[in-house]
Structure 1
Amino acid sequence: MSTLRKRGAGLRKVKTGCQTCKVRKIKCDEGRPVCSRCLSTGRVCDGYGIWGGGGNSYASRYNTANKENVPSPCIKQSPSSSVSKDEQSYLHWFKLRIASSVAGWFGSRFWALTVLPALSTEPAILHAAVALSAAHISCEFGGKISPDVHERFILQQYSKAIHYLQSAMLHNDRASITIVLIACQLFTFLEYLRGRSKTAETHLRSGLKLLRDLHSSRSVEHFGVTLVKASPLARATEVAILESFGTLHIQVDLFGRDMADMNILLQPMQVELPQPTFSNAQDARGCLDKILHGILLISQRLRTVGRDTDDYARLVRGREGALSQLDAWHEIFAKTFPGFEKSLLVHGNISFADLPCSLLLNYHTMATIMCKGALPLPESTYAAFTADFLSILDSSVILFNAYSVAQSLPEGLDRANTIVEFGWIPPLYYTAIKCRVPRIRRHAIRLLDRVSYKEGIWDSLLAASVARKVMELEEQDSACERDVQHDGALDEVCGMGAYSPVTLPESSLFHDVHVEMRDEAMSRARLTCRRWRSDSSLEVIQCCWDGESWVHEDVEEKDMD
């Protein structure tokens, strides 16, 4: 038996080795980022699938020494456009308010490295930024400006940006493609801000397809997921663009939106996490994003792949690898920010500067629950994660209190309403959807519903409405509503002993919650929920949100698939 175990372990190691060693059918030592066998023989190591790695390409061998000194690309100069007085004022607003607010809690590199430098050289980016700025002002001061006049101005700037883009696309060189990708991002943010979700997703899909085609020579297919790998010599601008598109892609996936034709991993999970510490919170967030994106795609594939297939076995191993990555990330986080978690536990409050760390822990906890729940297990299994959901709720209350203080300041808080970056909504929404403790679910929904808050595609009020509807549908035949108390303070969380899961029949719990924006309005959405009946047949429930109430719809036969 022991001999068999050793032999099996050896086989498993070959199966999980780099792609090059698999093709050569030799044992891989699984060195990171490049395995020793490939390095010693001068071969190109093709890495470890969605777990990143790979390298030793012929270009990188000759350029590694100068890699750190490669300057960011200068975006191609274009004839400067004449900027009107109105455009100047909106441009000033963009630089003053938007470029800082969209960077969010962690300071996204996309805006500093790509957008701001391009404003002075690229008319297409300038007019796209002016349109975005006008839409942002319209959201902040909607009642104080003429909507018709403002909308005409936005469309005028939109048209100008597209006009200049058409000229750039004629060149079809790398610098022009960079401009197109930046503009595509700005258009996506603009449409989300205007409440035109379908148009925004059209821009997002276009950008993702362009990135996939641009990096096709380095892309790899793994069980239905296209891994878009940037060159080892990719410059800061290219990396920032990939990261920004990756963030938007994660947001769409987290909200249960259907982009099945876009199974693209823009941020391959790098097993080689920095040691011994992260350089800062932004570095920690970037690493966690990569792991989370992989978990989301693995979870999607696990729901569609047959259990008896080789793909399923590989996905299960991938899930186990993700859990190891999450553990490693947490260890490095603890070394980077020593004493933070203990202080949070003891004092129950933190300084404003530490809020990004609290947010990171919320996402780490959510990612861990998602990864552990990725296998097709009963939905009641989530009762085992009550302590984790309570941790998310506790941290969210701290973030909520900080938000409330920031809103009371004369200048408000630029980071309170970000256009694209992650904030506190997704982990809280996930808690409201998946937690099996009625009091925790209701507390999470009340927090979401308390203030109107936007993060990219996320709207706190819509998220609260969706979560409340899901909860009502799951609990409609139980006594939860009658038994749960609603008089708890919004800014306080009780100890673990005050919360206990409620056992609902498995046939009441949804395994899939899908949200589709409708009618070009963010307040209108279609909710599709799926669960297994007690006789193992599939039940699909659809209803639409008109901004005030939910209206149930008949389910078409194709929706039952």
Structure 2
Amino acid sequence: MGGTILNKPCGSRCEKRIQVKTGCRTCKIRKLKCDEERPSCRRCVSTGRVCDGYGIWGGGGGKISRSRQQPLNLNSRPAHVPLISGTTQELEYLEWFKYRTCKKVAGASTLALWDVLLHPISLAEPAVWHAVLSLSSVHRRDIYQASYGGREPKPLDQQERFTLQHYSKAIQHLQPHFSAMDKASMRVALMACFLFVSLELLSGHFTTAQIHIHNGLSILREFGTLVEDDGRVLLFDIVPGSIDDTIVRAFCRLNLQLELFRHGYQHPCLVLQIAEPETPASVFRSVNEAWKQIERLFGRIFHLTDLWRRQQQTLHHSPVEVPPKLLTCQHQIRAELSACLVILTASKTSMPDQDPKGLVYGLLSVYHTMASIMADTCLRLDDESVFDSHTQQFVSILTESIAMWKTGQSDLLQRYLRWPCIHMSRSIVDIGWIAPLYYTALKCRIRRVRLHAVRLIETTSYREGIWDSNIVSCVARKVMEIEEGGFYEDDRAAEGFLLSSPPRSRDISIPALPRLSRIHEVRVVLSDRPADTFPLFYRQARGRWREAQVSTRGKFYNSAY
């Protein structure tokens, strides 16, 4: 019947109707050719009908203009989106992804991409479908391998074949999208790319994960506009709550954790920013709203740091005063951080349903404190002594982390008492508490504080995105060893503290490390496979780069638990 003209009576007149495969949902139901205008087709608007849009790719809303397009609700799959028929095994992995992977690896700040978008779109897009199955397989394999000692009924090599098979199929189904590269195809490519990054991070393939992130950022350039005269800020002007907003925010989070990991050394920096009001409401209405504000402030700090680094490089590190423009920018960031803290404090009791135990609030607090230290020190890049004036803030990060650790210990006991909870992975794709503790261990030269931070990291053996607890704890100990040498030889008693006890006044009243022994830049080279040793590059006080080997021997290593 395709293309056949049908004449059907409609009151006193007849309409010519054709069978169509594209167009808005309203025109499809009416079997009329759609002009596919966005956000609402002209045929619907001209007849006074409500245009139901184009399914998962948005649009619709009758006479609503583009500038007032409403956020897309994807809590349920549109009726016309076809369900990809899968085998019993594939549907089993899809269920695992929906109810376990999405709930656990997303971390404390659940992105809408996990919550709302990936599952329904996987039912319509083969590339996303196969990427979802591949990620689900990796997650499930590591849970059973770690929690049940390999009691998964299927052989491990069979599961690995399943993972690689669907990984390959996802890449194959992306090829037509790479050829088309219209907005719809770019959305599919970005979602598959995000799933690939997640899969590689959980697998410990850090080099490949970073390649996928950079590929995603290259595609994102088509969604945003490079601003500033340096062209290192990618600004997105998108509809809040839309599919584009959801995808961009997911990559903003990936970029944030990558920039935090690379913050210890000079490098070209690309900052992602979403155009939105800088002054939020008096309280954060949700956890993610608070993360958005802190994430935006980190982006501004990264950009300011990058500007000052490049200005120093052009002057070959000659002594120069900080330009007034950069000082003004620093002052503005500090003021916004202060305002953010007021709102965050006021919001502590406004989101109890999302954070009943206060863990997320503690995490938001330590990231805010870390951002404040970075903002205060970003224009004094060659003066490590500047961190000495921030000891109380480092102690604050440590105190909040101890509180989270105590809660986590209690939850761990509950996990073993309730068997079904053992299915849940502790490794996540998002950032967690490791990054602030690692920053404290590197930049706070009070031995008791930095050692406490390292020992807290060592209580866990899992990953938070690119942050592997075993690797970063070894790096932090190596940095301490290089910096301190035998300086604290007579203070070995400081190691006998309880993890549950924050530092006291006498613990931080010790001589400061000499300036010349302090490390200014640290670069960790990650690979795609576990190793007993890996290289660490570091630089002290305008000196040359040196290399040290970091050993992970004796460390419990697990790919995802």
TM-score over 0.5 for the pair? yes
Is 1:375 aligned with 2:379?
yes
Summarize the Cα distance change of 1:63–1:222 in structure 2 as closer, same or farther, 3 Å threshold.
Answer: farther
Q: 190-199 or 300-309, which moves further after superposition?
A: 300-309
- 1:526 is displaced (CA, Å) by 2.7
**How do residues 503-518 of structure 1 correspond to structure 2 at under 5 angstroms?**
503-518=512-527
Contact 1:78/1:122, CA 8 A, preserved across alignment: no
- 1:262 is displaced (CA, Å) by 6.2
Contact 2:457/2:469, CA 8 A, preserved across alignment: yes
2:247 to 237, 241, 244: 241
Summarize the Cα distance change of 1:152–1:260 in structure 2 as closer, same or farther, 3 Å threshold.
Answer: farther
Is 1:69 aligned with 2:92?
no
Q: Which runs of 5+ in 1 are unaligned?
A: 1-61, 341-350, 551-561
Contact 1:512/1:530, CA 8 A, preserved across alignment: yes
**How do residues 279-358 of structure 1 correspond to structure 2 at under 5 angstroms?**
279-306=285-312, 312-337=323-348, 352-358=356-362
**How do residues 9-20 of structure 1 correspond to structure 2 at under 5 angstroms?**
none
Q: Encode CA deviations 1:325-367: one digit per residue, 9 max, x unaligned.
A: 1011011122223699xxxxxxxxxx84321111111000000
2:214 to 187, 205, 213: 205
Read off the aligned partner of 1:456 and give its amino acid letter: G
**How do residues 264-283 of structure 1 correspond to structure 2 at under 5 angstroms?**
264-268=270-274, 272-283=278-289
Match of 1:427 in 2: 436
Output the CA distance in 1 between the equivalents of 2:520 and 2:493. 24
Identity of aligned residues (%): 31
**How do residues 16-95 of structure 1 correspond to structure 2 at under 5 angstroms?**
67=68, 69-71=70-72, 81-95=84-98
Q: Encode CA deviations 1:174-206: one digit per residue, 9 max, x unaligned.
A: 111101000000001111111211111111100
- 1:95 is displaced (CA, Å) by 0.8
- 1:80 is displaced (CA, Å) by 5.1
SS of 2:403 mapped into structure 1 = helix
- 1:495 is displaced (CA, Å) by 3.0
Summarize the Cα distance change of 1:258–1:166 in structure 2 as closer, same or farther, 3 Å threshold.
Answer: farther
SS of 2:107 mapped into structure 1 = coil
Read off the aligned partner of 1:397 and give its amino acid letter: I
Q: 520-529 or 281-290, which moves further after superposition?
A: 520-529
Q: 66-75 or 438-447, which moves further after superposition?
A: 66-75
Contact 1:225/1:265, CA 8 A, preserved across alignment: yes
Output the CA distance in 2 between the equivalents of 1:258 and 1:439. 21
Q: Encode CA deviations 1:391-420: one digit per residue, 9 max, x unaligned.
A: 111111111112222222224488872432
Output the CA distance in 2 between the equivalents of 1:261 and 1:450. 31
2:125 to 122, 127, 138: 122
Summarize the Cα distance change of 1:413–1:325 in structure 2 as closer, same or farther, 3 Å threshold.
Answer: farther
Contact 2:363/2:433, CA 8 A, preserved across alignment: yes
- 1:64 is displaced (CA, Å) by 7.8
Read off the aligned partner of 1:322 and give its amino acid letter: I
Output the CA distance in 1 between the equivalents of 2:550 and 2:158. 29
SS of 2:536 mapped into structure 1 = strand
SS of 1:227 mapped into structure 2 = strand
- 1:271 is displaced (CA, Å) by 5.8
For this pair of structures, how many residues does the alignment match?
A: 472
Output the CA distance in 1 between the equivalents of 2:65 and 2:394. 44
SS of 2:251 mapped into structure 1 = helix
Match of 2:190 in 1: 181
Contact 1:75/1:175, CA 8 A, preserved across alignment: no
- 1:153 is displaced (CA, Å) by 1.4
* Larger helix share, 1 or 2: 1
SS of 2:544 mapped into structure 1 = strand
SS of 1:320 mapped into structure 2 = helix
Output the CA distance in 2 between the equivalents of 1:472 and 1:517. 21
Alpha carbon RMSD of aligned pairs, Å?
3.1
Summarize the Cα distance change of 1:369–1:75 in structure 2 as closer, same or farther, 3 Å threshold.
Answer: farther
1:404 to 393, 409, 413: 409
Match of 1:221 in 2: 228
- 1:227 is displaced (CA, Å) by 2.5
Read off the aligned partner of 2:394 and give its amino acid letter: F
Contact 2:369/2:393, CA 8 A, preserved across alignment: yes
Q: 313-322 or 96-105, which moves further after superposition?
A: 313-322
Output the CA distance in 1 between the equivalents of 2:64 and 2:323. 39
Match of 1:138 in 2: 141
**How do residues 370-519 of structure 1 correspond to structure 2 at under 5 angstroms?**
370-376=374-380, 378-408=383-413, 409=415, 410=418, 411-412=420-421, 417-480=426-489, 482-519=491-528
Summarize the Cα distance change of 1:402–1:433 in structure 2 as closer, same or farther, 3 Å threshold.
Answer: same
Output the CA distance in 2 between the equivalents of 1:147 and 1:503. 52
Q: 260-269 or 170-179, which moves further after superposition?
A: 260-269
Read off the aligned partner of 1:403 and give its amino acid letter: G
Summarize the Cα distance change of 1:171–1:192 in structure 2 as closer, same or farther, 3 Å threshold.
Answer: same
Which is higher, the Rg of structure 1 or of structure 2?
2
Match of 2:549 in 1: 544
Read off the aligned partner of 2:478 and give its amino acid letter: K
Summarize the Cα distance change of 1:477–1:224 in structure 2 as closer, same or farther, 3 Å threshold.
Answer: farther
Is 1:148 aligned with 2:157?
yes
Contact 2:283/2:350, CA 8 A, preserved across alignment: no
- TM superposition score normalised by structure 1: 0.77
Summarize the Cα distance change of 1:131–1:229 in structure 2 as closer, same or farther, 3 Å threshold.
Answer: same
2:176 to 162, 167, 172: 167
Summarize the Cα distance change of 1:476–1:248 in structure 2 as closer, same or farther, 3 Å threshold.
Answer: same
Summarize the Cα distance change of 1:328–1:501 in structure 2 as closer, same or farther, 3 Å threshold.
Answer: farther
Output the CA distance in 1 between the equivalents of 2:85 and 2:266. 43
Contact 1:223/1:311, CA 8 A, preserved across alignment: no
SS of 1:538 mapped into structure 2 = coil
Output the CA distance in 2 between the equivalents of 1:114 and 1:310. 49
Is 1:366 aligned with 2:370?
yes
Output the CA distance in 1 between the equivalents of 2:121 and 2:111. 16
Contact 2:283/2:346, CA 8 A, preserved across alignment: yes
SS of 1:530 mapped into structure 2 = strand
Match of 2:38 in 1: none
Summarize the Cα distance change of 1:158–1:262 in structure 2 as closer, same or farther, 3 Å threshold.
Answer: farther
Summarize the Cα distance change of 1:261–1:443 in structure 2 as closer, same or farther, 3 Å threshold.
Answer: closer
Q: 98-107 or 222-231, which moves further after superposition?
A: 222-231
Output the CA distance in 2 between the equivalents of 1:248 and 1:75. 29
